[in-house]
Structure 1
Amino acid sequence: MSETRAALIVIDMQNGFINDRSRGVISKIVELVEHWEATGRPVVFTRYHNYPGSPFERLIHWSSVQHPPETDIVPELAQHASRARAVIDKKIYSYFSPEGAALAEEEGWTDLVFCGVATESCVLKSAVDAFERDVTPWLVTDACASHGGQAAHDAGLLVARRFIGAGQLIKIDDIGVKL
């Protein structure tokens, strides 16, 4: 087996996606990021930006996360984002915006480890897109949440098992063993 080149991708940990149903994941993601940083491996944050007339606004009737402070990374992770390998601004669900895709390609990452918000949308879509690009996705189940609540989070995990394989869903404690 060739050497694994892995990066941690922290998806959309922004004020606009944090509520009572998702707030509890912040401390878990801080723990994961600090552990990952200690290994010297790269961390990348994504930051979603909605915009007037976007498909989210037109079709889903959702117009949030268009301006600060909603677009800002949560305070607990802001310092980590400031020293990350990159902060990818995107207008789509996936990490694989043109900038994110180019970075993964340039760095030659073989594995991407996903955490963040929301499990059933941006985290799931990013993991599936990695899979379809022949990059091994890992979804850290205890470092993901949904601002839509537990049922949405669980639905995302159910679909992820089918899309990327049950073995790709791991917990924070599994990272040292699998990666």
Structure 2
Amino acid sequence: MAIPKLQSYTLPSAQDVPLNKVSWTFEPQRAALLIHDMQDYFLNFWGDDSPMMDKVVANIAALRQFCKQQNIPVYYTAQPSTQSDEDRALLNDMWGPGLTRSPQQQKVVAALAPDESDTMLVKWRYSAFHRSPLEQMLKETGRDQLIITGVYAHIGCMTTAIDAFMRDIKPFMVADALADFSRDEHLMALKFVAGRAGRVVMTEELLPLPGSKAALRALILPLLDESDQPLDDENLIDYGLDSVRMMALAARWRKAHQDIDFVMLAKNPTIDAWWALLSREVK
């Protein structure tokens, strides 16, 4: 009845992202970030030493930092430490008393602790919209895109994405900033949302710049037509990178480096050359 002891698994990579039925463009000025149920209680089911959860927390932290820089509002959900039987209702049948027996674990994990500018929402059911002002707050601030991160992918996160879609708010599920009971359930949630209720993305797709050359390579590989992987100094055009995708990359990276354009990328289309451009200090 209670949440079982959980095991780490390999987080989804760009190659695992299902085909999205919609091609919504992420627009920071229209977006809000949701950090869903990242409380000590829920993360403790993976134990103290989980490299997988360390990566999930790091990805959420990177998205949160980006959102702060872009004035994108940040919302948290958190179950209260005390819940009456009336408030908890059917959750008791499905999951038992839950957090109410571990009130000392109610806080959001320290690495993602909210500050005074963030909004905390009391979480009563799977969806972050249930008995909360989230929809109204988004509409009042002109936000109709919701970046969804946290736990658990196939329960609250997926339900929130479906609920957002039904309220004409575009959900962006961040595949590697979510965690779940198992990899199969994680991938199931991504597949459902991609085909029925939203768009599935990777953390790096939302950040204007990749954080490392390895992250740049991971971003580029899905854009190539060839099955063979290029070396860092090989011409990406020879591997199927087309001008449309290159222009899209230029537009994205120009948000951080205003001198980057299509001509600059096309002049030397290699991972080495592009990383040299991107790793410059942002002025």
TM-score by length of 1: 0.84
Unaligned runs of 5+ in 1: none
Counterpart for residue 133 of structure 1: 167
Q: 1:17 aligns with which of 39, 42, 53?
A: 42
* Aligned equivalents of 2:60, 2:119: Cα separation in 1: 17
| Structure ranking higher on relative contact order (CA contacts 8 Å, 6+ apart) | 1
Q: Let me know the Cα RMSD of the aligned residues.
A: 2.2
Aligned partner of 2:63: which letter? Answer: L
Superposed displacement of residue 52, structure 1: 4.5
Contact 1:52 1:63 in 2 (8 A): no
Q: Give me the whole-angstrom Cα distance separating, in 2, the residues matched to 1:110 and 1:34.
A: 20
Give CA-to-partner distance per residue, 1:109-151, whole Å, 9 cap, x none: 11111111110011111111111111111111111111x1222
Correspondence for 1:69: 104
Matches of 1:48 and 1:61, distance apart in 2: 13
Match of 1:152 in 2: 185
1:106 aligns with 2:140: yes
Partner residue in 1 for 2:64: 33
The size of the alignment, in residue pairs, is: 170
- The Cα shift of 1:6 comes to 0.8
Identity of aligned residues (%): 25
Q: Quick check: 1:142–1:172 contact (8 Å CA) kept in 2? A: yes
Provide, for residues 66-115 of structure 1, a one-character-per-residue CA deviation record: whole Å limited to 9, x for no partner: 2532221011111xx12343111121111113322221222221111111
User: For residue 174 of structure 2, what is the amino acid of its counterpart?
Assistant: V
User: Could you tell me which amino acid in structure 2 is paired with residue 51 of structure 1?
Assistant: Q
Aligned mate of 1:47, from 78, 90, 94: 78
Higher normalized strand content (fraction of residues): 1
Q: Which has the larger radius of gyration?
A: 2
Unaligned runs of 5+ in 2: 1-24, 209-251, 253-283
Give the partner amino acid of 1:96.
F
Aligned partner of 2:120: which letter?
A: V
- Contact kept? 1:115, 1:123, Cα under 8 Å: yes
